[in-house]
Structure 1
């Protein structure tokens, strides 16, 4: 057999220090020749870029595989050292060709870590099961439903990534993971937004405790979340399909960035309302408690001084729900909400920066950032809301109305409220 084929073999532009040479069963020759012939014929009539790229990859892969089979046959019979060397070099080059082809077909632009993806698949699977049980037991159907969907989507996303580790070119896997992991935090935030409205009602309906009526927080931020979710899903689908079809991804990426940026803006607005609410219930409602750095740190630490501050403010709140505020875990409620929002906030900011760099940018092609700034942040939120579930603060049977009337607002003002307003005495919290 002539060894001239080695001189026309594909030559790599970079040479690795080591590699494992490929070996292909010669019985595959007939199928490879058929693929090569069919792909060559299709190339003459194909017009779409995606079709041309896929055909080109088929031709390249079939030719490299045939080179290996032919070189193996040469090695099996050759006795001349120079011929053996040429055949070995041909196998080496074809191996690198197949490896490069495999990398070109990698939709993720990086080698996925089986260990990391399996770990988060298991973690989100546990959270999903816990949230499923809590949804049934707590009867927090809206909040529980949001966390159920969010944790379920995260589980599906990392399960898909785990399956894709050995098949990074599978378009179905790629589309599934990018869409589920993009929209999952929107569901989680929809549940958290609802908690602000509940907390306002627990303290009182009046404007003393909030800039808006409780129900409006749900309206505003759930609508924002839905819009963000739809925009992200559309953009994610557009960009993912463009990646697979070898087309320009800019349009889909820009839509995705807009959706996530919109979510960041809505979360920023929520944080403004959230911290305004905390300022009102701890410092504005009671003139005897001053807004100082020392008092803020005391509330963050949640120690004895924080208990004293809350005791000073207690007479100004709706006494119908005093039993909830006096609950064993209630003082941790603001910390849980604040931590949950900040974790998702970090994740969303990371996603904006990541996608702004494009699908071949540094962040998206280094999986460590996905695992630490996305997966870990979302997991911390889900775990926090599973371990310290709102049912611990609000109880299973508590009926907190978000819609209010003037009668509800007037009922917020206990006799001690006006007395406190007119009795600004010296206080250790000044």
Structure 2
């Protein structure tokens, strides 16, 4: 029995939707570049590259809207939109490590801080490379069904790796919060670590939802329900990844980088006391190590 023909697109790619998201991702990425430069947050470089991937990926969809049989823009959008969230994840992993350093909270973490970032970023790199390899195989082998199937399996494996590490990362962050909040309550006055943890949870869940969507999409295959309508890509990928970027525009982790520099300049102590707080009673603040 002959296999069904592999189609690059089973719909007409929307020019309007692609233009809208190129503009939105582009604006958010430019803002992230400025914010990272101003706050000297080099650990956000992967996040910025992820934003560039998303922007250029949707430019590929603009090109595909004019010629949906053209292979080059299809490969461009397939790879870059697929890989962008893995780069977002790399920076998100680093945020937790910096929160732990800021609060001197390593004793509350499941994993020692010096291993935490390395572990999760290593998992993210593995996921990135697997998705890149699988996406590349699929993009250039549209007339060879065996290679297409192989590419899909490799991408699926990469997505499962991403989901596993993200799930473990969320568990690690939640355990840290539950253990630390009883002992670091006073830090909430001047050090907004909980604010950044909450944004970390939100962005992580969004990336997880997107990854699960991609898993289902690849399991269904080229003839699957999700690939027959463009709306699913925008609802479960574009909108969610834009929300990740905008969330970190609004609560930018460069604030953590600035506080870490201040901590370093002061030695190892930051004066946290304020009039009216428990630490500030008697006109003298309690020095708390952060």
The answer to whether the superposition gives a TM-score over 0.5 is yes
Please say which structure displays the higher CA radius of gyration.
1
**Which consecutive aligned stretches of 4+ in structure 1 deviate over 6 angstroms post-superposition?**
none
**Residues 1:137 and 1:206: Cα distance change in structure 2 (over 3 Å):** closer
Give the distance between the partners of 1:206 and 1:112, measured in 2 at CA.
Answer: 48
CA distance in 1, matches of 2:209, 2:94: 20
Aligned length: 261
Are residue 369 (structure 1) and residue 232 (structure 2) matched?
yes
1:205 CA drift (Å): 4.3
Distance 1:213 1:368 in 2: 42
Whole-Å Cα distance in 2 between the matches of residues 392 and 200 of structure 1? Answer: 14
Given that residues 232 and 260 in structure 1 are in contact (C-alpha distance below 8 angstroms), is that contact kept between their aligned partners in structure 2?
yes
SS of 1:108 mapped into structure 2: coil
**3-state SS in 2 of match to 1:395:** helix
1:264 aligned residue:
163
| 2:12 alignment counterpart | 111
Deviation at 1:264, TM superposition (A): 0.5
Q: 2:121 aligns with which of 222, 225, 232?
A: 222
Aligned pairs for 1:131-210 (under 5 A) are 131-143=32-44, 145-207=45-107, 209-210=108-109
Report deviation, 1:149: 0.5
- The alpha-carbon deviation at position 395 of structure 1 amounts to 2.2
Q: Tell me the TM-score normalised to structure 1 length.
A: 0.57
Q: 2: CA distance between counterparts of 1:258 and 1:391?
A: 33
Once the two structures are superposed, residues 283-315 of structure 1 have per-residue CA deviations (whole angstroms, 9 ceiling, x without a partner) of 4x4xxxxxxxxxxxxxxxxxxxxxxxx6xx33x
SS of residue paired to 2:225: coil
Question: Which residue is equivalent to 1:67?
Answer: none
- Deviation of 1:329 after TM superposition, in Å, equals 5.1
Matches within 5 A, 1:234-313: 234-243=133-142, 245-248=143-146, 249-283=148-182, 285=183, 313=185
| Residue 216 of structure 1: how far off its partner (Å) | 1.1
Structure 1 residue 400 displacement after superposition: 6.6
Q: Which runs of 5+ in 1 are unaligned?
A: 1-103, 286-309, 315-321, 402-407, 412-430
Aligned to 2:110: 211
Partners of 2:231 and 2:139 in 1: how far apart?
Answer: 21
Q: Does 1:357 align with 2:220?
A: yes
Q: Aligned-pair distance for 1:281?
A: 1.2
Give the equivalent residue in structure 1 for 2:251: 388
Bigger relative contact order (CA 8 A; separation at least 6): 2
Q: Alpha-carbon deviations, 1:337-389, whole Å to 9, x = none?
A: 11111111111111011111001211122111100101111110011111210
Q: Partners in 1 of 2:85 and 2:69 — Cα distance? A: 26
Counterparts of 2:263 and 2:199 in 1: how far apart (Å)?
A: 19
Structure 2, unpaired ranges of 5+: 270-290
